A and B are shown apart, each in its own frame.
Chain A
Amino acid sequence: MSLKGKAAAIGIGELKPFRDPGDATAFGLMADVASMAINDSGLEKREIDGLLTSVAFAEPGMFYPAAVAEYVGIRPKMFDVVDIGGASGAGMFWRAAAAIDGGICSAVLCLAADTTLANPNFPDFSPFVSLEHEFEVPYGNTLPNCGYALIARRHMYEYGTTSEQLAKIAVDQRRNANHNPDARFYDRPLTIEEVMKSPVICDPLHLYEIVSPSCGGAAFVVASPEIAKRSKHPPVWLLGAGEATDHSSIAFAPSLTESAVKPAADAAFKMSGVDRKDIDLISPYDCYTITVLVTIEDAGFCKKGQGGPFVAEHDLTYAGDFPCNTHGGQLSFGQAGFAGGFSHVTEGIRQLMGRGGERQVKDAKLAYVNGNGGIMAEQCGLVLERRS
């Protein structure tokens, strides 16, 4: 049993992230990206028979899939919420492929959108479960900043990783964003010195190592091989997928520095039959610089603990020897709330379709995407391919 080559992404839709929500609603943005992705796929809306979505921070609730289907105006035969945080977009890709391969449906719309606006209907909403309210929050462990800072500090302790090495990730990704007109920080260059001089928020993490909350959303359509044959753009095939979790609260992770990215990536590469050295670009979730560093190590692109020297020695830009987050990553593209993780999936698809514009990675055929949820808690790795 394998999902290798059983389904392909045939369309994408994505909003340029923006800071001020204005009149935007999460459901309104979902309809926007749904419309964009369906149009991009070349399918009629009535051909969409599957829906996977995520619950927006700004508009939480239950019975979400039917509400989104109703709002968007589709009547899917498979519909669900994928609740694995920033790994949800990657997780939807293989779930869509599995449903298609199982004969349940044939064209799945995967989408998420969010705003930074606190919804007055849910003034006390918190994404934490009660255990975190009881054993984490009273000590001030209130936001992901804290958890990733704990990881970065431990990585520095175990391996001698430096803030300058981490800053290099933000800087190279910014150079990618400077070639992506849809990135929030498109017109703002960034240097290592500027990262190092930005305020320390949670020691050792500086402001420019942390994502900027944004409004936005993204969607993609995953379709059966039969439908993919008639898509407008080159289909991007799922070759391998793997998923893993080993904790929820970071205090209970087996290790702060060796994450569940490893089993997820190993499973994805094993299913795909692809060698890591043949990957043309990676698109790893990047809520923080340390997230990218740990992912590069655990996904097997360098030895454990060598992520610091690796990112210092390699060029992570679209034109470099190790293209990484060619859209700028969420650090420079913007993090659209719960939809943020989608940008890594859509950029992987976009690059393999050859639609990267001035940031196109030359002859890109194979991409590795990593979705990461919570505090390195939920991991989903994907190997994607454009067939020549």
Chain B
Amino acid sequence: MSGYTKPVPHPNAVSRPFWDAARKHELILQRCAGCGAHIYYPRSRCPKCMSDKLEWKPMSGRGTVYSYTVVWRTPTKAFADKPYVLAIIELEEGVRMTSNVLVAPDQVKVGMPVTVSFDDVTPETTLVKFKPA
């Protein structure tokens, strides 16, 4: 047992490639073969053109902090142990993701460049987080 008590994702057939790649420390997202849109979270069809021709593509892992909050207090027990930086990351490819920035609370800034950092929270689960570039 890893002792990790925070909630973990439970992948389904559509999302499993994303989480499997994360375990291998690779960031891949779907790209629509119909309209070229990058898609996150994983879907069965493109939300722009509704095509089901979606291909998994590696991403650069580079992005910027679109916005952030330092969560000092939360009633959610699993996250209440210490403050953490919750952020929306805008990837170079134009897609936004909710994630964490692994940085001291007083160091995070809107617009700051970040790069992907894989967090192996359990033997089965790797979360896609970010650190200052």
Query: Which residues of A are at the interface with B, using a C-beta cutoff of 8 A?
Result: 131, 133-143, 145-146, 149-151, 153-154, 157, 199-205, 249-252, 256
Contacts and interface: CB of A to CB of B under 8 A. Distances in A.
A139 B88 CA distance: 11
B9 A135 contact: yes
Nearest to B89: A251
B75 A146 contact: no
Contacts of B110: 153-154, 157
17 contacts: A138-B7, A138-B127, A140-B74, A140-B76, A140-B86, A141-B98, A143-B74, A150-B86, A153-B69, A153-B110, A154-B66, A199-B73, A200-B72, A202-B86, A204-B69, A249-B98, A251-B88
B115 interface: no
Contacts of A199: 72-73
Interface residues of B, number: 35
A138 B121 CA distance: 10
A146 B10 contact: no
A251 B98 contact: yes
Contacts of A141: 86, 98
B8 A138 contact: yes
Contacts of A203: 69-72, 105
B49 to A, nearest CB: 17
Nearest to A151: B67
A134 B15 contact: yes
A288 to B, nearest CB: 12
B9 A134 contact: yes
Contacts of B127: 138-139
A143 B72 CA distance: 13
Which of A135, A136, A154, A205 is most buried by chain B, counting CB atoms within 10 A of its CB? A135
